[in-house]
Structure 1
Amino acid sequence: MSVDVIKNNVKVCMFDQYGTVVDMQGGLVAIATPFLKAKGWNGNPNSFVTWWRRTHFENSMIDALLHREHTPYREIGHRAVAHVMDRAGIRYTKDEVRTLVGEIEKLKPFPEVPAALAKLHTRYKLVVLSNGDPDMLETAKQYHKITFDRVISVAEAGSFKPHVATYTKAAELLGLKMDQILFVANHAFDCIGAKSAGMRAAFIDRRSRPFEETPYPPDILVPTMKDLADAIV
């Protein structure tokens, strides 16, 4: 797809928040490092956070596939952190688990993101569609300090991304056709979910990874948010 098609048709840039707008891995490693050291755990804090995030992702996908009542993001997070610490042999309290998961609300943007989003905002409305709970996303505003036109939690759809209902519900709430939205994510699964639901998709390839083979490739692939803004504004 040409950039001109995006410029001429897209009304909203819609963003994943955790890991795309805010630096989740880096931010959580910074918090986990002193915590794990105090616990006497000598493993790699980056690996600990990766295990935490992968366990959270797996549990949220299971929750979406069960088609039961939607489990809050925070609760999935508590389970994931507790499970990883159990596997690592780390003794902990429930308060410590809650504190670690609560740090997600305080994450800061990647360095280039505020300026890039300000540039995108000159042409498009900016919206977040996040797996986070509504109250977590509300609290996060005071930390990331980015002005979005709207912040939507998947709780509105009752399922985690990449369930099709999350993207269709977001478009419905905005009163837009699916292809008038460019979904922007640092995660392949999120780009694939949005594209398969009918949105356009932009992959922020921060780690220079090949995008997997899929019938739903991103419409644009760039290394940073600045490159996206430069390309489509």
Structure 2
Amino acid sequence: MTDDAIKDVKVCMFDQYGTVVDMQGGLTAIATPFLQKKGWKGNPNSFVTWWRRNHFENSMIDALLHKEHTSYREIGQRAVAHVMDRAGIEYTRDEVRYLVGEIEKLKPFPEVPEALARLRTRYRLVVLSNGDPDMLETAKQYHKIPFDQVISVAEANSFKPHVATYTKAAELCGVGLDQILFVANHAFDCIGAKAAGMRTAFIDRRRRPFGETPYQPDILVPTMADLADAIV
């Protein structure tokens, strides 16, 4: 990382699901007793991985079609139903709604609150999430992080990484794209933000290669605490 990567940055903008809050761990903890009651003998962590992958695939299809934006909640319910169908698990629509609704209650990764408190001393802190506006509003009482602004991609009528999501977020923040450091645990999100014109920081929690792309992150660190160490 060079000082040029952050010299003009005024806003740190965060993905929420999987970057600020622990989506895999939190949903696995929720799915484990649910699946045990169903008598399913598989790995709950794998169930959540399949759920999230199917959700991701369908949100990308929705973004590429670029028709009327489908809500995050609806995409999530379709994904959960699909995975339970594939796994041969009997379920009700209320059970599907319950599982997806638990996303609103996810807690931050352990180091995140303190790291964001340090970042707040120098930058405005903003969320740009694929979540629906009401889901993100409800989540505030569970993650308890006082972000300066929380933006849903519904404002841009598309899921990330469509360029419209990042440009709309910058517009709503009142800053230039190059004045934003976008922070995510997902390579696709960093790639989308970088391609749109933002600076990017990749939180490499899973210690995986970022991959070959012309849109490499400006900063690559293993945790949010390391990010705060690097730029505050």
TM-score (norm 2): 0.99
Q: For 2:150 and 2:117, how far apart are their aligned partners in 1?
A: 16
Offset of residue 67 of structure 1: 1.3
SS in 2 for 1:128: strand
Alignment of 1:87-166 (within 5 A): 87-166=86-165
Q: For 1:18 and 1:211, how far apart are their aligned partners in 2?
A: 18
Q: For 2:200 and 2:7, how far apart are their aligned partners in 1?
A: 15
Alignment of 1:50-89 (within 5 A): 50-89=49-88
Q: For 1:202 and 1:36, how far apart are their aligned partners in 2?
A: 36
1:25 corresponding residue in structure 2? 24
Summarize deviations over 1:119-163 as a string: whole Å, max 9, x none: 000000000000000000000000000000000000000000000
Offset of residue 5 of structure 1: 2.1
Aligned residue type for 2:41: N
1:12 corresponding residue in structure 2? 11
Q: For 2:193 and 2:7, how far apart are their aligned partners in 1?
A: 19
Aligned residue type for 2:28: V
Aligned residue type for 2:18: G
Aligned residue type for 2:172: L
SS in 2 for 1:9: coil
TM-score (norm 1): 0.99
Offset of residue 6 of structure 1: 3.8
- Do the aligned residues in 1 keep the contact of 2:181 with 2:199 (CA within 8 Å)? yes
Q: For 1:49 and 1:78, how far apart are their aligned partners in 2?
A: 13
Aligned residue type for 1:185: A
Q: For 1:6 and 1:221, how far apart are their aligned partners in 2?
A: 12
Matched positions, count: 232
SS in 1 for 2:128: strand
- Do the aligned residues in 2 keep the contact of 1:15 with 1:185 (CA within 8 Å)? yes
SS in 2 for 1:42: coil
- Do the aligned residues in 1 keep the contact of 2:6 with 2:199 (CA within 8 Å)? no
Aligned residue type for 1:189: F
Q: For 1:132 and 1:32, how far apart are their aligned partners in 2?
A: 20
1:219 corresponding residue in structure 2? 218
Aligned residue type for 2:194: K
Aligned residue type for 2:90: R
- Do the aligned residues in 1 keep the contact of 2:200 with 2:219 (CA within 8 Å)? yes
Q: For 2:66 and 2:156, how far apart are their aligned partners in 1?
A: 12
Offset of residue 7 of structure 1: 4.0
Q: For 1:210 and 1:159, how far apart are their aligned partners in 2?
A: 27
Q: For 2:144 and 2:161, how far apart are their aligned partners in 1?
A: 26
**2:35 equivalent to 1:36:** yes
RMSD in angstroms over aligned alpha carbons?
0.6
Offset of residue 8 of structure 1: 2.2
Offset of residue 102 of structure 1: 0.2
Q: For 1:132 and 1:205, how far apart are their aligned partners in 2?
A: 22
Summarize deviations over 1:94-114 as a string: whole Å, max 9, x none: 000000000000000000000
Aligned residue type for 1:13: C
**2:173 equivalent to 1:168:** no
Q: For 1:160 and 1:59, how far apart are their aligned partners in 2?
A: 10
Identical residues among aligned pairs (%): 85
